[in-house]
Amino acid sequence: MSAPLEGLKVIELARILAGPWAGQTLADLGADVIKVEAPQGDDTRQWGPPFVERDEDKSASYFHSCNRGKSSVVIDFRTPEGQAQVRELVKDADILIENFKLGGLAKYGLDYASLAEVNPRLIYCSITGFGQTGPYAHRAGYDYIIQGMSGLMSITGEPDGQPQRAGVAITDVFTGVYSVAGVLAALYQRERTGRGQHLDMALLDVAVSVTANQGLNYLTTGTPPGRTGNYHPNLTPYQVFDCADGHIIIATGNDGQYRRLCDLLDLGWMKEHADYLTNADRVENRPAMIALLMAETAKRTKAELLAGCEAEGIPAGPINDMAEVFDDPHVKARGMQIELDGVPSVRSPFVFSDAELALKRPSPKLGEDG
């Protein structure tokens, strides 16, 4: 079987995470992704330890997390020769991904307007912190700052503690994924129009978009939601619970699951209690209800409680560290950990019935392909 995007040519003028994540995803899907690097290479090659060492190449694990499957060419497009090389690459390209600051490529003649003259069918994806328009467009965008500005940190963390960021640069990763969706949509439109176009992707736009139900909670009520720690603002019991030897997650999604949980914890009287009858009742009386449930979960081990929940059809799961994640039998069965020429990697999460991913090479050595 072939990969879905075989035959597509992608030029990546991107570094750090959001742009390279988009490029890696396209490469996994079969596109030929040419990563154009400055003579010193993508900044993240140095973002270690840890490092992956291959012969004379020593690049950080961070770099390898988002550059799999690409070829690497070194071009200094500050020079006329370098600019000409990029334009030559673009002549027959389908997609270009760049994440320079607003106007950063125009001075080299590598902006959309200039390259559209070279290739009118080019899908040109610009990834910035704040987009091509608006009062913040000139600012550099960093995931941490975007997590704060977007409201994501205001709803993450314990109510009486500091706002917290996510443990992964989620606005970069989400922007990379949304960028892939955008360029594929533009390619589909190109089939009808014959024309390429400019795609304007902003980390802040993406981060605000993925506030999801929390954003709608505010727009519906006019009251900004706060930090809720490990419980769900709209659903309960749906949070981390103490056990005798640690913690697990119990996430009931309906009244039936809640009632079965009460039975499992020998709290059958709570099933029909007026304070906890419906989800709305339980949300309103959450502190008292959670205290009753927690007193019982704390008497049981993690394994005992997880087994009981599994047997009764109550959604529950462990809180794994990375070693436990990659040792999990289901993660193993799904083939999420891969190795390419001795370099470990994490598979993209696509599983097709009539196609396969193009997992053929690890991240490139600097300038490996020209």
CATH of the domain at 200: 3.40.50.10540
- pLDDT for the residue numbered 278: 96
Q: What's residue 35's pLDDT?
A: 98
In this structure, the answer to whether residues 123 and 248 fall within a common structural domain is no
Q: What is the mean pLDDT of residues 51-64?
A: 92
Looking at the structure, do residues 19 and 164 belong to the same domain, yes or no? yes
**Rounded average pLDDT over 47-64:** 93
Q: Does residue 36 carry a pLDDT above 90?
A: yes
Q: Evaluate whether residue 302 is within a structural domain.
A: yes
Is the pLDDT assigned to residue 55 strictly greater than 90? Answer: no
> How does residue 187 score in pLDDT terms, banded at 50, 70 and 90?
very high
Do 304 and 340 lie in one domain? The reply is: no
Confidence band for 156, pLDDT divided at 50, 70 and 90: very high
For residue 71, the model assigns a pLDDT of 97
- Confidence (pLDDT) at 271: 93
Let me know if 172 is a catalytic residue: yes
Same domain, 280 and 189: no
Together in a domain, 143 and 14: yes
Based on the domain organization, do 165 and 22 belong to the same domain? yes
Please count the structural domains in the chain.
2
Q: Answer yes or no: is 191 within a domain.
A: yes
Mark whether 203 and 76 lie in a shared domain.
Answer: yes
Secondary structure (H, E, C), the chain: CCCCCCCCEEEEECCCCHHHHHHHHHHHCCCEEEEEECCCCCHHHHCCCCEEEECCEEEEHHHHCCCCCCEEEECCCCCHHHHHHHHHHHCCCCEEEECCCCCCCHHHCCCHHHHHHHCCCCEEEEEECCCCCCCCCCCCCCHHHHHHHCCCHHHCCCCCCCCCCCCCCHHHHHHHHHHHHHHHHHHHHHHHHCCCEEEEEEHHHHHHHCCHHHHHHHHHHCCCCCCCCCCCCCCCCEEEEEECCEEEEEECCCHHHHHHHHHHCCCHHHCCCHHHCCHHHHHHCHHHHHHHHHHHHCCCCHHHHHHHHHHHCCCEEECCCHHHHHHCHHHHHCCCEEEECCEEEECCCCCCCCCCCCCCCCCCCCCCCC
Among 42, 143, 172, 205, the one annotated catalytic: 172
For residues 168 and 296, membership in a common domain is answered with no
131: containing domain: 9-211+335-346
Q: Are residues 99 and 150 located together in one domain of the fold? A: yes
Q: Tell me the CATH number at 300.
A: 3.30.1540.10
Question: Is 329 within a domain?
Answer: no
Lowest pLDDT segment from 180-189, 228-237, 320-329, 343-352: 228-237
Residue 359 domain-assigned (yes or no): no
Q: What is the pLDDT of residue 159?
A: 93
Same domain, 56 and 199: yes
Identify the pLDDT of residue 370. Answer: 79
pLDDT digits 0-9 by tens, 65-120: 999 999 999 999 999 999 999 999 999 999 999 999 999 999 999 999 999 999 99
Q: Answer whether residue 253 is part of any domain.
A: yes
Q: Do 106 and 134 fall within a single domain?
A: yes
pLDDT tens sequence across 113-146: 999 999 999 999 999 999 999 999 999 999 999 9
Q: Are residues 157 and 191 in the same domain?
A: yes
Split at pLDDT 50, 70, 90, the class of 56 is: confident
**pLDDT for 247-286, tens place per residue?**
999 999 999 999 999 999 999 999 999 999 999 999 999 9
> Which pLDDT tens digit goes with each residue over 230-257?
989 899 999 999 999 999 999 999 999 9
Q: Does residue 356 belong to any structural domain of this protein?
A: no
